Amino acid sequence: MKFQKGLSLTGLMTWGVVIGLGAVLGMKVVPAYIEFGKTQAAIKKVVNQAGSYPSLDTLRSSYSRFADIDQLDLKATDLRFKPEGEKVIIEFSYDKTIPLVSNAYLVLKFEGSSKN
Is there a contact between 73 and 35 (Cβ–Cβ < 8 Å)? yes
- CA angle 98–30–79, rounded 5-degree value: 70
Domain containing residue 50: 30-113
| Total domains in the fold of the chain | 1
Q: Tell me which residues of the chain have a pLDDT lower than 70.
A: 116
20 falls within a domain: no
Q: Does the predicted TM-score (pTM) go above 0.75?
A: yes
d(CA 75, CA 60): 9
85 falls within a domain: yes
7 falls within a domain: no
User: How confident is the model over 67-88, as pLDDT tens digits?
Assistant: 999 999 999 999 999 988 888 8
